[in-house]
Chains A and B, each alone.
Chain A
Amino acid sequence: MTLITRRNLVGSLGVTAGGLLLSGCDRIAAAPKVQQVLSLGEGLTIRAQRLVSDRTALAREFSASDMSPFFRTNGNTMPGSDEYATHVTNGFADWRLKVDGLVRRPQAFSLAQIKAMSARTQITRHDCVEGWSAIGKWTGLPLKLALDAAGVLPSARYVVFHCADDSDGTPYYESIDLVDAYHPQTILAWGMNDQLLSVGHGAPLRLRVERQLGYKQAKYVMRVQAVDSLQGIAAGKGGYWEDVSNYQWYAGI
């Protein structure tokens, strides 16, 4: 029991640990088994957060005086396609938002139709996964209304947002589950800070999912698709950053 004294143990550990630490850590970190175990954290986190949250618990809404004086753009700031450029030139007059997938009545809304439907305005905080935060005012169509117009089928479990922008040919896309899809603050925003949504911020529509981080708030939304599984889309992890860089699908934290 006392053959190994604390002093011996700590001393020898300290000596060996230093050298092995760096190279050992990286090799451990890269092992597939380790990756599998670490990803259990995401499941625990979403379950725990949903356990302590009311379905409709609202993200904090601020007053006009709390807004960031300047709200930076981030990520892609203009889709590269000719099609998009044409839409910008004629004010998105010919642009349509498709709502399809596992729905009874696929829809194609014009921007004018969307703006005429019931709108929600919310002053909320946008949190980038990298660490910065900005508070802006968003006006848009509650996603619930678009989904109800299309009549989502009972087999649907996720809503996927297909976007006009891409990075090196890989299109941006994102997805949320139905709890977040029907949340009161989940809107397709067409207005920002009392003006029409700018190109840099995702014109004509950007998704707001206020209880999750910034990379989920897809810009340049072209199509809303109800699906029963994320597997069949792109690389199957539910979003561009999830597929490309292994970011968590659930970005509540």
Chain B
Amino acid sequence: MSSLPTGQTASGGDLIYRQRRPVRIWHWINALSIVIMLMSGLMIFNAYPQLYWGQYGANQQTPWLAIWQVNTSGFLRLGPVTLPTTGVLGFANGQAHAFPGLVTIPTSYNLAAARQWHFFFAWLLVVPGILFWLWAFATLHIQRDLAPTLDELRPRNLWQDIKNHARLRFHTDEAARRYNILQKLSYVGVIFGLIPVMVLTGLTMSPGMDAAWPWLLSVFGGRQSARSIPSSAQRCWSAS
């Protein structure tokens, strides 16, 4: 975890890298690819801004989420609740799109272009991701640095850590050379939860992959369910 040999305590003035180089590299590749996947993904969503659950879903079914506009007003419906969203979703800056140009790639509607960006950067997300997994297991980064210990998972410890974070009281001593429990849970959640789920739901929307790996449809309960999930996963991501 640092440039000092294990066991040797640092003294004042030592430069400690709290993340190793492969971690940094992977993180910054992701910073680029995830942002582009998100923005191009929003444009793809804009082509049909309604989400269903199950094996099929089109105009005759009731979506659980829909964004639309009436004249120059925008609306979002989540289940039974309809919210006015003019200026943000549905209708913003004189444009009638679910998500505004500010957050999409490209900025104005072009499904074909958005797909091009999305399916190019998908490779930049998946290949380094797989390489990182391999590296992280092979070098015991997962086992030694990321795996939470039973002690850390105790409710009292968790709560203490949450309180410390809220008060912006971070470790400054030797303990700072290790990930704290909130970090561990976040990183493990992203590496083994959110990213794989987003990739797999993406693959489930592919008719080609549904034929190659039929279990994808079983896991997510249908292509339209799979289409619903990435947007939810993204919101969890942003929150974390």
Contact = CB atoms under 8 A, between A and B. Distances in A.
B214 interface: yes
B224 interface: yes
Contact of B47 (A29, A39, A41, A130): A130
B97 interface: no
Contacts of B148: none
Contacts of A248: 112, 115-116, 119
Contact of B57 (A37, A59, A132): A132
A252 B208 contact: yes
A133 B58 contact: yes
A212 interface: yes
Contact of B106 (A29, A40, A130): A29
A41 B123 contact: yes
A33 interface: no
A54 interface: yes
B57 A133 contact: yes
A58 B211 contact: yes
Given A57-B211, A62-B55, A127 B223 contact: yes
A216 B44 CA distance: 18
B115 A22 contact: no
B41 to A, nearest CB: 11
Interface in B115-133: 115-117, 119-123
Contacts of B237: none
A243 to B, nearest CB: 11
Interface in A46-90: 49, 52-54, 57-60, 62, 66, 68-72
Interface residues of A, number: 52
A140 B28 CA distance: 51
Given A22-B107, A25-B107, A131-B47, A68 B209 contact: no
Nearest to A133: B56
A219 interface: no
Nearest to B47: A130
A213 B115 CA distance: 13
Interface residues of B, number: 44
Contacts of B44: 131
Nearest to A216: B207
Interface in A152-191: none
B55 A133 contact: yes
A37 B120 CA distance: 8
Interface in B49-65: 50, 55-61
A60 B116 contact: no
Given A253-B119, A253-B208, A135 B56 contact: yes
Given A52-B212, A211-B211, A72 B112 contact: no
A134 interface: yes
Contacts of B122: 41
A253 B120 CA distance: 12
Interface in A18-52: 22, 25-26, 29, 35, 37-42, 44-45, 49, 52
Contacts of B115: 129, 247-248
B13 to A, nearest CB: 12
Interface string B26-59: 0000000000000000001101101000011111
Contacts of A245: 111-112
B72 interface: no
A129 to B, nearest CB: 7
A128 interface: yes
Contact of A131 (B207, B211, B227): B227
B92 interface: no
B191 interface: no
A40 B101 contact: no
B105 interface: yes
B212 A53 contact: yes
A134 B120 CA distance: 27
A208 B66 CA distance: 30
Of listed B111, B112, B116, B122, residue having the most chain A CB within 10 A: B116
Given A22-B102, A22-B107, A25-B105, A72 B59 contact: yes
20 contacts: A29-B106, A35-B116, A38-B120, A49-B209, A58-B211, A60-B210, A60-B217, A71-B58, A127-B223, A128-B48, A129-B47, A129-B115, A130-B48, A131-B50, A134-B58, A135-B55, A211-B208, A212-B208, A248-B116, A253-B207
Given A53-B208, A125-B55, 16 more contacts: A41-B120, A49-B209, A59-B207, A66-B55, A68-B61, A125-B223, A129-B47, A129-B115, A133-B223, A134-B56, A247-B112, A247-B115, A248-B115, A248-B116, A251-B207, A252-B208
